[in-house]
Amino acid sequence: MSSPNQRRFGGVVLVCALAGSPLLTTSAAGAPGPASPDSTIVEVTVTEGTNLAVTTSPADGTMVMDLQGQLFSLPRAGGKATAIGADNLDPYWPTFAPDGSQVAVQSYAYGSFDIVAISPDGKTTRQITKGDADDTYPTWSPDSKQLAFTSDRAGGEDIWVVDAAGGEPRQVTKGAGSEEQPTWAPDGKSIAYVQGATVESVDLATGAVRTLVPGGQGFTSAPSWSPDGKRLAFLRSGQAGRTLSVLEDGIVRQVGKYTDVFPFPPRWTSPDEVVYGANGKIAATTVSTGVDRAIPFTATFTLRRDNYLRKEHDFDSRRPQQVRGIVGPALSPDGKSVVFKALNDLWLQPVAGGAPKRLTDDQFYEVDPSWSRDGKQISYTSDKAGSPDVYALDVASGQSRQLTKAPGGEVASAWSPDGRTIAYQDQNAQTFTLDVATGAATRVLGPLNVPGRPSWSADGKTLAFTSSVAERNQILLLDVASGTTRTVEPGPFGSVSTRGDDGPVWSPDGRWLAYSMNGVLWVLPVDAKGAPTGPPQQLTTEASDAPSWSGDSKTLLYLNNGRLRTITLDGGKPRDIAVRLTYAQDKPETKLVIHAGRLWDGVREEPYTNVDILVVGNRIQRIEPHKDNRPRPGWTFIDASKQTVTPGLVDMHNHQEMKSKFMGDRQGRLLLSYGITTTRSTGDPAYRALEDKESLKAGNRIGPRFFATGEMLEGSRVGWEFARPVRDEQQLAVEQTRIRELDYDLIKTYQRFRVDWQAKAAAYGHKLGIPTTSHYLYPAIGHAVDMKEHLAGPTKWGFGFARESSFGGTYDDVVQLAARGRMPFSSTLFSAGSTLVDDQQIMSDPRVRALMTPQDQAFLNQKLKCALGQGPCGFLDGNAAQARRDVGLIRRLIDAGGTVLAGTDAPLDIIAVSLHLNLRAMAKYGLTPYEALRSATILPAQQLGVEDDLGSVTPGKLADLVITGGDPTKDIAALADVRSVIKNGRPYTVAELAKPFAG
């Protein structure tokens, strides 16, 4: 067991001594101050840049460079770069004003993309545009008095203009498509911009539009007029790379030798020379001759990494623990009972107090209980018949009957007011209605992007649920008869907290919709069809989720960080419902002797041979040379004399609850059957994750150990259903209570979460002893964030751009910052699917046939056909060349002293199988099997802060072991040949794991 007094974790935070601006300062961002005794200072000097952007001053040639999200100033000839501006400016697309007085950037410092002007020395910063809209890609007018930019403030992406002094922007274009990346013509009369694959120009006086660069092969971007207006430079990308092109006299030609030109406008230093970022360098090209030169630079980052006491994980105690993982609670119509899911079963809790009654008592997966309006029945989903189906439970008798029998999964059931119809959703996010008497199902909507649970209007004619609309969780109203839909904002530019159990829930009298927004409970007055009749009203100030109504529409039940509470519609103090439900950790009393022909212990490169591993309870007691005459009474012997024992595997990037409703009991069994004994969530619905974690700890569900988190902390715009939009610092404080009281093991911040809030989240997490991770290398590495997900993942700028990987790859700045700053990356090698060419019989694997859902089998088969070149490839699929390049980066990171941890992003990649594909790609394209194995065993244990308990086969550690055929230290593919797995001292054969679903 790890003790907080023994476990410290080294982490690094930016402390560049920058001149503060009146709006953006390091202290205002919440970034740590000078180094403390528990911090480590590292200076990293780089001479290459990945996706660097550069702009030049027409006044004196001074350059300003955006390198990894930090602005630097450097002389015209290059040399030593000086950091300027606050470290939380989060800049993009820098551009000098023609008079050299200011640099405009697209900044995310305020929670949306805004146009910000900064002085060339970085001492003053001024926000020019404000609001919830995204204002992007600034360009100056020739007289330096105005800025043009792209904005979605009118709904689409159009060109707008604003005075440099500020004020109300005015719209310039209103095209049907997206107009973006403007460049102002030197005569001030027109603005060119990208529209699709073309470059167009709009006349500012007449509004007339003409095409400058017609669409051609590849993608066109980043146009830039020369000072004399005779040439237009732009970028064109295709399979061969991204190159610099110039339009002159109506003719387009490529100039320069660089094939990895970074996706920012080339900046003209004269009518015949452009400066830009390419191939890791600041490049300058003479357009008339095509002669290139590199402008050298050095840029130094000063990093501080936190060393902090890690959270204690008690793996041995049998003391009772209070259940917090309460999922989908629903108040009975009479207001006297609450049904909910916890510890892998459904429970009925009296509101007046007392012990809850267990409604189901089995190993199957149940979810989404819902009351009939008369209170006599509860519908729910269970996988007891092999796949998730909807059942109806008679409350008086306790008997259940199956209502749906489709081959996929049916979840999120909701009774109509008359009790004759149930609405539900399937695995394709389609919504159906079911005639309870006849069993006839009718599709009424979908598919959608993971909608929330449906709720009926009082007259049974309309369904309300949360849907993703314009990057917000809005209320969608469906007229069931006609199929027409309408969208309602939960609040001005607001979002329902999550697309799950957070509403909207219609009051039985039809007058209100209740939901969680900004992390707290709100009600919206509506008419019979759901149209608002007034503004939303806030009911609570504490973390509030999963609302449900009493039958008289006067009381709301909700979850507050694992506690059941009620509040009346007219406000007042919330009241607690005491839930006397506890669990104890599963700890077997077994005594095992495992005779291992080979033991790879996770430490040595070569395996031991012919040893006995003695396990008592849940821990490894001893490892000794094999003895044929060992006494047998009281011991269970496992013969692995012709096999290899390894530590259990860890998937360090997993969204375990994303498909848990549709995987049910299969998911944990499938993971174990492939030797995965530990998973770490990097974003999941908080209550489902905690229920899963508690059920696994209690032994009520079969599956790996689960290091869980809640929803990813996101900005005001949200895409994933398991991301939680955070609007302001008041809400951030509410979310921090959820992190603490729901016992998160990790804080995950997502794409649009502000940099200064990310710093605060990291500092808060470290006080609790838990790490933080994100999709960003910098400034995250300068703000105490512990880890980065993906070698190069999606960012706030979209899938097409990441600061850590350009079109042509990754340069030394990323490698040095990650390695010397001690920031691990997760692998998430989607390109590893290409290694399925080496495993063409995978579809016949008994684990695939028994434990994968039909939908996941089809997904795996599609990936196999893609790898074989026999079928289409999905958006995230990669080829062998990409896998080779990805593993090449892993090789460089490791050689520089960095760490890469095996993670999959499942179920976006194939559950369980993808971890083995990651390891196979690593070993195939540059790592030794030993290095690949460590990325899924001891190194994750160290990052999780549990290396005293997990990660290697060592006396005293937990007995999480895999027994495989073959020797994975020589052939990594042998690792998937799992014969049996031992988790927490309990052995399972693959056949035992698959048995409930086999045949």
pLDDT at 215 over 90: no
Q: pLDDT (tens digit, 9 = 90+) per residue, 595-609?
A: 999 999 999 999 999
- Would you give the DSSP letter of residue 165? T
CA–CA–CA angle 940, 944, 948 (5° rounding):
90
pLDDT band at residue 881 under the 50/70/90 scheme = very high
Q: Which domains are delineated in the chain?
A: 40-304 (2.120.10.30), 321-583 (2.120.10.30), 591-997 (3.20.20.140)
Q: Locate the DSSP E strands across 600-722.
A: 608-616, 619-625, 636-647, 649-654, 676-681, 705-707, 712-714
State the pLDDT at residue 807. Answer: 87
Confidence of residue 475 (pLDDT cuts 50, 70, 90): very high
pLDDT tens per residue, range 286-302: 999 999 999 999 999 98
Average pLDDT in the chain: 94
Find the mean pLDDT for residues 761-779: 96
Indicate if the pLDDT at residue 36 is higher than 70. no
pLDDT at 900 over 70: yes
473: confidence class by pLDDT, cuts 50, 70, 90:
very high
Cβ(300)–Cβ(259) below 8 Å: no
Q: What is the DSSP letter of 987?
A: E
Q: Is 166 left (phi over 0), alpha (psi -120 to 50) or beta?
A: left
pLDDT confidence bin for 273, thresholds 50/70/90: very high
Q: Is the pLDDT of residue 27 over 70?
A: no
The count of other CB atoms within 10 Å of the CB of residue 177 is 14
Report the pLDDT value the prediction gives residue 4, as an integer from 0 to 100. 31
Task: Tell whether the torsion through CA atoms of 568, 574, 578 and 584 is positive or negative.
Answer: positive
Q: Render pLDDT for 291-350 as a digit per residue (tens, 0 to 9).
A: 999 999 999 998 878 999 999 999 999 999 999 999 999 999 999 999 999 999 999 999
Q: Tell whether the model's pLDDT for residue 16 goes beyond 80.
A: no
pLDDT of residue 262: 97
Q: Which residues of 694-710 are buried (b: 16+ CB within 10 A; e: fewer)?
A: bbbbbbbbbbbbbbbbb
**Which whole-number Å values give the CA distances from 701 to 361, 562, 569, 665, 821, in the listed order?**
12, 20, 38, 7, 39
Instruction: Write b or e for each residue in 531-540: b if 16 or more Cβ atoms lie within 10 A of its Cβ, otherwise e.
Output: eeeeebeebb
| DSSP-assigned letters across all residues of 832-881 | GGGGGGG-TTGGG-HHHHHHS-HHHHHHHHHHHHHHHTSSPPPTT---HH
Element (H, E) at 298: strand 297-309
Distance CA(735)–CA(311), nearest Å, equals 19
Terminal alpha carbon distance of the chain = 41
The pLDDT score that the predictor gives to residue 388 is 97
Mean pLDDT of 705-719: 96
Predicted pLDDT of residue 13:
29
Distance of alpha carbon 193 from the chain centroid: 32
Mean pLDDT in residue range 387-415: 96
Say if residue 733's pLDDT is above 70.
yes
What is the Cα–Cα distance from 734 to 726, expressed in whole angstroms? 10
pLDDT score recorded for residue 26: 33
Share of the chain above pLDDT 70, in %: 96
As a whole number of angstroms, the distance between CA 634 and CA 612 comes to 16
Q: Is the pLDDT of residue 6 over 80?
A: no
What are 162-175's pLDDT values in tens digits? 999 999 999 999 98
In percent, how much of the chain has pLDDT > 90? Answer: 91
Q: Rounded to an integer, what distance in angstroms lies between the CA atom of residue 674 and that of residue 976?
A: 6
168: helix, strand or coil: coil
Nearest to 284 by CA among 466, 61, 613, 615: 61
Q: What span, in angstroms and rounded, lies between the C-alpha atoms of 595 and 122?
A: 66
Distances (CA, A) of 771 to 237, 707, 713: 38, 12, 14
Among 37-41, 491-495, 782-786, 984-988, the minimum mean pLDDT is found in 37-41
Whole-angstrom distance, CA of residue 944 vs CA of residue 654: 14
Q: For residue 157, what pLDDT is reported?
A: 95
In the sheet that holds 53-56, the strands lie side by side as 53-56, 63-67, 70-74, 82-84
pLDDT at 756 over 50: yes
Tell me the HSE value of 922 on the side-chain side, using a 13 A CA sphere.
Answer: 33
Return d(Cα 93, Cα 104) in angstroms, integer. 8
DSSP state of 995: G
Is the pLDDT at 30 greater than 50, yes or no?
A: no
> With bands split at pLDDT 50, 70 and 90, how would you rate the model's confidence at 218?
confident
Model confidence at 22: pLDDT above 50: no
pLDDT in tens, 64-74: 999 999 999 99
| pLDDT band per the 50, 70, 90 thresholds, residue 10 | very low
pLDDT, tens digit, 9 for 90 and up, residues 572-622? 899 999 999 999 999 999 999 999 999 999 999 999 999 999 999 999 999
Structure-block tokens of residue 267 = 């900046």
pLDDT above 60: residue 28: no
How many CA atoms lie within 13 Å of 396's alpha carbon, on the beta-carbon side? 3
* Lowest-confidence pick of 662-666, 714-718, 804-808: 804-808
Cα separation, 347 vs 941, in Å, equals: 35
Strands (E), 578-660: 582-583, 591-599, 608-616, 619-625, 636-647, 649-654
pLDDT (tens digit per residue) in 682-691: 999 999 999 9
In the predicted structure, residue 37 carries a pLDDT above the cut 70: no
pLDDT of residue 840: 93
Q: Which residues of 280-306 are buried (b: 16+ CB within 10 A; e: fewer)?
A: bbbbbbebeeeebeebebebebbbbbb
pLDDT band per the 50, 70, 90 thresholds, residue 999: low
Radius of gyration of the chain (CA): 29
Give the pLDDT mean for 91-115.
97
**What local confidence, expressed as pLDDT, does residue 9 receive?**
45
pLDDT at site 965: 96
